[in-house]
Amino acid sequence: MWAFGAYSYVVTAFSAAWFARRSARAAGAPISLVESVSWQGASYALWLPVAGLVWAVLRRFGAGGRGVAVLTLAMIPVVALESLGAAWVDMTFRAPDGGMAEGLDRALSRSPVSILLYTALAAAGLAAAHRQRAVEAQTRADHLETALTEARRVVARQAAPAERLTVSTGSRRTPVDLSRVEWFSAAGNYVVVHWEQREGLIRETLQNLEGRLDPAIFARSHRSTLVNLARVRETQSLSDGSWRLTMESGAELVASRTYRDDLLARLGR
């Protein structure tokens, strides 16, 4: 992004300098190459802090509705200040004896171009921010898929008999292989066990249960949910940065952004 900005500045300044020399020659007041490059370089250098402002706004507010709203509101003072600054640069190089009225007239005449350039900068910043978000989302999705594949491999190569949980289902107590469990959900001092479209209870907190399970297979996807990664059929990134996890049974769970990052960190991704 910064390399593109530097390239755009250099190309724009030299192109404007070439145009300024032609215009000055046609008006009978030729200027040197050095003067024209210095003039236009100083004029378009005013856009460098504007580019920094766009970058700072997008870092602070994101590329969504809030970021667009802030950039839109900032356009009014930015365009006014840039137009005045550019008019001052023009008068410094070409009309040093001009008065305030001439400066305001030059600033007003530059406003349409300033609006266009500001809009282009904001659009480029938004495009770069959205691309970065898409790249990060795809990277996280790839890491999650790798983690799911590893969880399935761990389950497949386990030689020891599967650990069992004794689950209360109504008045009965049912043994359930841990590998058959799709997910656990918190219910106060109990945990609801979900397996093969069935449910049961165990008297234990979700935090204690999580502490004795293999983190390569079971991971927290939400403050109240613990998921068997080997039983996740597919994943989908959501617009808010969270994930939708579709289990083998068809049940859909959400991995919030907080636990999404924690999940990848715990799995070493």
- What structural domains does the chain harbor? 2-137 (no CATH), 158-266 (2.40.50.1020)
Q: CB–CB of 252/244 below 8 Å?
A: yes
How far is the C-alpha of 192 from the C-alpha of 251, rounded, in Å?
Answer: 15
SS3 155: helix
Q: How many CB atoms lie within 10 A of CB 140?
A: 20
Confidence class of residue 155 from pLDDT cuts 50, 70 and 90? low
How far is the first Cα of the chain from the last one, in angstroms, to the nearest whole number? 26
Calculate helix-pair angle for 100-157, 65-94, nearest 10 degrees.
140
Mean of the pLDDT values across residues 91-119? 85
Give the chain's mean pLDDT: 84
The angle at the Cα of 129, spanning 125 to 135, to the nearest 5 degrees, equals 145
Task: Output the pTM of the full model.
Answer: 0.56
CA angle, 96 as apex, 92 and 99 as ends, to 5°?
110
For 147, phi then psi, to 5°, come to -65, -40
Please write the tens of the pLDDT for every residue from 199-213. 999 999 998 998 888
**Model pLDDT for residues 44-67, shown as the tens digit of each residue:** 888 888 988 998 998 888 888 899
Residues 113-131, mean pLDDT to the nearest whole number: 88
Q: What is the pLDDT of residues 3-14, one digit of tens each?
A: 777 777 888 888
- 123-154 tens-digit pLDDT: 988 888 888 877 877 777 777 777 777 777 76
pLDDT band at 268 (very low <50, low <70, confident <90, very high): low
Q: What is the mean pLDDT of residues 159-165?
A: 66
- CA 31 – CA 29 distance, rounded (Å): 7
pLDDT mean over 237-257 = 85
pLDDT of residue 161: 52
Instruction: Please compute Rg for the chain using Cα positions.
Output: 31
Q: d(Cα 208, Cα 213) in Å, to the nearest integer? A: 9
pLDDT of residue 12: 84
User: Above pLDDT 70, what percent of the chain?
Assistant: 92
| pLDDT tens-place string over residues 15-31 | 888 888 888 888 788 88
- Identify whether the C-beta of residue 119 lies closer than 8 Å to the C-beta of residue 68: no
Q: Give the strands of the sheet with 218-222, arranged side by side.
A: 172-177, 164-169, 198-202, 190-195, 181-187, 225-228, 218-222
- Specify the 3-state DSSP secondary structure of 94: helix
Share of the chain above pLDDT 90, in %: 20
> In the predicted model, is pLDDT for residue 269 greater than 60?
no
